């Protein structure tokens, strides 16, 4: 252990990654980063996604709260009480979140959420929605609906590049701050907790500031691809 520490090695930590193989990666990257760094006038940039299978977990025994000299306790096992799907749309300009919990995440639920976005955003603003390539987002019924609402403009992230969608950071926050340690005896209780968290978030939201240019990101991806290629070539030899 002391040798690892002396050389700054942390073998217990493994960071996940996946390099996108999307043939239109550069085009999509430049499009989305361009929206973040130079948003169009008279428009809103809104990052959308679903967090599916959010579980209402109830612990099998009550835990003890945090106190001086003692960490909070929680049983390692739990009882499953159902799931919900959280649809969320993050307004990049001011950090406000539009959200809706639904039982499933088919194209019908996605359309319902798009209607909510339409209701809760100024009608005089063009909307640029950033989403992933999930089939639900490209369903023919969705495309027909969007064609009738020209203020909606869809921008799809490259495959295996969910990190380009800033709403993923909001999902990370709600997971670590509210869901992961939560105790929920029913799905309605879980949904109430989610709605309360979002209402609290929206009382003092913060705009998301994107700092990395598309060129900087692309150079990093190129370096990662080179390292992967050299590693694969070395393995083959």
Sketch the domain layout of the chain as residue ranges: 41-59+75-208
Is the pLDDT confidence value at 16 over 50?
Answer: no
pLDDT given for residue 58 in this prediction: 81
Is the pLDDT confidence value at 62 over 90?
Answer: no
Is the pLDDT confidence value at 151 over 50?
Answer: yes
Annotation: CATH topology of 41-59+75-208: Nucleotidyltransferase; domain 5 (3.30.420)
Query: Of the given ranges (61-65, 154-158, 178-182), which has the lowest mean pLDDT?
Result: 61-65
User: 237 pLDDT band (50/70/90 cuts)?
Assistant: very low
Residue, of 148 and 65, whose pLDDT is higher: 148
Query: How far is Cα 104 from Cα 203, in angstroms, rounded to an integer?
Result: 28
User: 17 pLDDT band (50/70/90 cuts)?
Assistant: very low
pLDDT given for residue 82 in this prediction: 92
């Amino acid at each position: 252990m002391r040798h690892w520490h002396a050389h700054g090695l942390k073998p217990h930590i493994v960071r996940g990654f996946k390099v996108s193989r999307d043939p239109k990666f550069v085009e999509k990257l430049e499009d989305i980063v361009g929206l973040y760094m130079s948003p169009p006038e008279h428009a809103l940039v809104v990052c959308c996604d679903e967090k599916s299978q959010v579980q209402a977990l109830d612990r099998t025994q009550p835990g003890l709260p945090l106190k001086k000299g003692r960490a909070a306790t929680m049983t390692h096992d739990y009882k499953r009480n159902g799931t919900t799907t959280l649809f969320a749309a993050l307004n990049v300009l001011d950090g406000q979140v539009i959200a809706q919990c639904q039982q499933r995440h088919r194209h019908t639920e996605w359309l319902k959420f798009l209607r909510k976005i339409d209701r809760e955003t100024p009608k005089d603003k063009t909307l640029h929605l950033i989403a992933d390539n999930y089939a639900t987002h490209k369903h023919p019924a969705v495309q027909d609906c969007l064609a009738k609402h020209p203020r909606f403009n869809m921008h799809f992230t490259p495959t295996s590049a969910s990190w380009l969608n800033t709403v993923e950071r909001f999902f990370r926050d709600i997971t670590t701050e509210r869901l992961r340690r939560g105790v929920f005896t029913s799905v309605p209780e879980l949904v109430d907790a989610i709605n309360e968290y979002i209402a609290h978030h929206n009382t003092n939201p913060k705009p998301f500031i994107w700092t990395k240019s598309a060129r900087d990101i692309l150079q990093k991806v190129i370096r990662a691809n080179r390292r992967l290629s050299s590693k694969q070539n070395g393995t083959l030899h």
